Structure 1
Amino acid sequence: MAKKKKIGSYPNTMIIISLTAALFLIGFCGMLVVQSKKLVSIIRQNIEVRIFIDKETTEAGKDSILTNIQSRPYVQQIGDTASIQFVSKEEAAIEFMEGTKEDFTAFLGENPLRDSYRVKIQEDYFEESKLKEIKTDIEQIDNIYEVVYQENLADDINKNITKVYIILATFALIMLIIIILLINNTIKLAIYSQRFLIRSMQLVGATNGFIQRPFLVRGATQGIISAVFASIFLVILQQVAIRNVEGLAQLQEYNKLAFILLALLILGILIGVVSTTQSMIRYLRMSLDDLY
């Protein structure tokens, strides 16, 4: 005896594969956004303002500068300690020679560099206009020779990351629209093959809710299965990338990854249920002549 096919079971594999691919790409875009934000956050946390001190400044003067800087609201705090590093001119010379591989003191006869403080700035001040205000504010402190930071870095990063967010969001939206249309058509074909069964159930008095229930359950199940597969592929991709890309582990935020995976599950269920509902309403309202 031939095995009977279940209602709406024909395109199961096609629906699951299509929906899995769409959810995977949407989740991938979400991961890129999260990691981009983390990267920007790390850059912001490591941006430094270098404060060069007059050569004639005494130790008491240096301590006074340090006290003044520590009281500023824009200085990054690690616990209860301001993120300020004192770099002597000797240490600065060693760093310079390590970077250039040249001993400039040999032909100059002296070390022309200055003692300095390297100050890390709060993320909220990661804007070119605010950094300029910080520079102006610090230069008003006594015994300050010069305040230096990488100009235009903040605005360039902010502009570029905004472009990345827009591109990823647009791509994810386009993918979502395309896959909804594809899945809608696939589900319509599945239910089309069951249109006479649906009409038979109506003729024997079955309510619309009773007829729709197995189809909606199937749609939700397809969404769950697709979301699970997409989540597995995303996690595998993430782990492979972490093992092969140096420094990528620092960009991972597993709590946000869990949120993305949960969002994929909800999105998968919604797509399956909503697409099935739209298709069912059409056939439940169809006249007998239109069935043919």
Structure 2
Amino acid sequence: MVKKSHNGISIISAQLTSTVSVTLVLLLLGIIALMGIAANSVKQSIQESMGFNIVLADSIPQSHLNNIKQLCSASPAIASQRYVSSTDALAQWQQQTGDDLMEILEVNPFSSEIEIKVKSQYANTDSIEKISAPIKAMPGVSEITVPTQMVDSINQSLRSLALVLTAVSALLLLISFVLINNTVHLAIYARRFTIHTMKLVGATAGFIRKPFITSNILCGIIAALAADAILAAIVAYAHTISTEISRAVNWVHATVVFAVILIAGIIITGTAAFFSTNKYLRSDYNDMFR
């Protein structure tokens, strides 16, 4: 009777350890996913700050200016536009530098411009040149200025960062799967003699596997819900720190991650339990001691 009780305690202890371990691994996966979403939001924000300037001709008729604005508004690639008059440009220069160019030059050296910001998917040199080409041909446009070197440099840096993050995420995902698989394997290892006994009395493989897979999926669900609760607390706290964080990772993004964590917990623990149970189903009595 004491031996049986000790057996039960060992099994409960193994299941509890398994649940806690899976929770920590799923929590790590959730944090990685949220960081990936935040990085993607920052990347999109940086890309949407790229664009070009439309330098307008001096004394441009209002009708020409309106036509240029309408063309920009109609373009699906343009995220926003801002008209800056020559007077506003001069005032900005004086505010930033403290120099009064009108006193020095006796003439305003700035031209009126329209600052264009493109959507993130068009934030590259080739796309910007295609977008600006029909605008450049319009009456009243003096020139188009594109910060080509800056755009290429930023895109190269973002591609390198994305490659590094993808490689790190893939590695951590593999490590997480291995850790969960080993954790589930240890939990089933504690009940290997139960599997062997059921096999001896003639139970089918499917009958033996079912309770082990079910219990481990339940463990995965509990672990995933615990990980989601911790992640929700982290996201809620992060939102109180900065509005930038709340924009980068909103609750819609977080809910998707919570759902993915739950599905991952079910799939990984269920799959690990299936293969671990099969191992002991194929083992003889002597293998139980290894």
TM category, shorter: 0.7 to 0.9
| In structure 2, distance between residues paired with 1:205 and 1:63 | 85
1:243 aligns to 2:246 (yes or no): no
| In structure 2, distance between residues paired with 1:179 and 1:61 | 60
RMSD: 2.7
| In structure 1, distance between residues paired with 2:252 and 2:208 | 40
Aligned counterpart for 2:50 among listed residues 39, 47, 60: 47
Aligned counterpart for 2:30 among listed residues 27, 32, 48: 27
Kindly state the Cα deviation for residue 262 of structure 1 after the two structures are TM-superposed: 0.8
Q: How many residues align?
A: 286
Kindly state the Cα deviation for residue 49 of structure 1 after the two structures are TM-superposed: 2.3
User: Deviation per CA, 1:208-254, whole angstroms, max 9, x where unpaired?
Assistant: 22222222122112211221122122222222222223522222243
2:192 touches 2:280 (CA, 8 Å); kept in 1?
yes
Query: 1:120-269, aligned counterparts within 5 Å?
Result: 120-269=117-266
Are residues 40 and 285 of structure 1, via their aligned partners in 2, closer, same or farther at CA, if it must alter by over 3 Å?
same
SS at 1:174 equivalent: helix
Are residues 46 and 190 of structure 1, via their aligned partners in 2, closer, same or farther at CA, if it must alter by over 3 Å?
closer
Given residue 96 of structure 1, which amino acid in structure 2 is its aligned partner?
A: W
- TM-score when scaled to structure 2? 0.85
User: Deviation per CA, 1:58-109, whole angstroms, max 9, x where unpaired?
Assistant: 3344344445545555434xxxxxx433221111112222222333323222
Given residue 23 of structure 1, which amino acid in structure 2 is its aligned partner?
A: L
| In structure 2, distance between residues paired with 1:102 and 1:254 | 47
User: Deviation per CA, 1:4-34, whole angstroms, max 9, x where unpaired?
Assistant: 6168433223322322222222222221222
> What residue is the counterpart of 1:62 in the other structure?
65
Runs of 5+ in structure 2 lacking a partner? none
> What residue is the counterpart of 2:40 in the other structure?
37
User: Deviation per CA, 1:99-132, whole angstroms, max 9, x where unpaired?
Assistant: 2233332322232111222233344422111212
- Larger deviation, residues 106-115 vs 60-69: 60-69
| In structure 1, distance between residues paired with 2:186 and 2:116 | 64
Identity between Structure 1 and Structure 2 (%): 24
Are residues 285 and 174 of structure 1, via their aligned partners in 2, closer, same or farther at CA, if it must alter by over 3 Å?
same
Runs of 5+ in structure 1 lacking a partner? 77-82
Kindly state the Cα deviation for residue 170 of structure 1 after the two structures are TM-superposed: 2.5
2:85 touches 2:111 (CA, 8 Å); kept in 1?
yes
Are residues 166 and 224 of structure 1, via their aligned partners in 2, closer, same or farther at CA, if it must alter by over 3 Å?
farther
Name the one with the larger helix percent. 2
> What residue is the counterpart of 1:11 in the other structure?
14
1:99 aligns to 2:100 (yes or no): no
Given residue 62 of structure 2, which amino acid in structure 1 is its aligned partner?
A: E
Given residue 209 of structure 1, which amino acid in structure 2 is its aligned partner?
A: G
- TM-score when scaled to structure 1? 0.84
Given residue 12 of structure 2, which amino acid in structure 1 is its aligned partner?
A: S
SS at 1:26 equivalent: helix
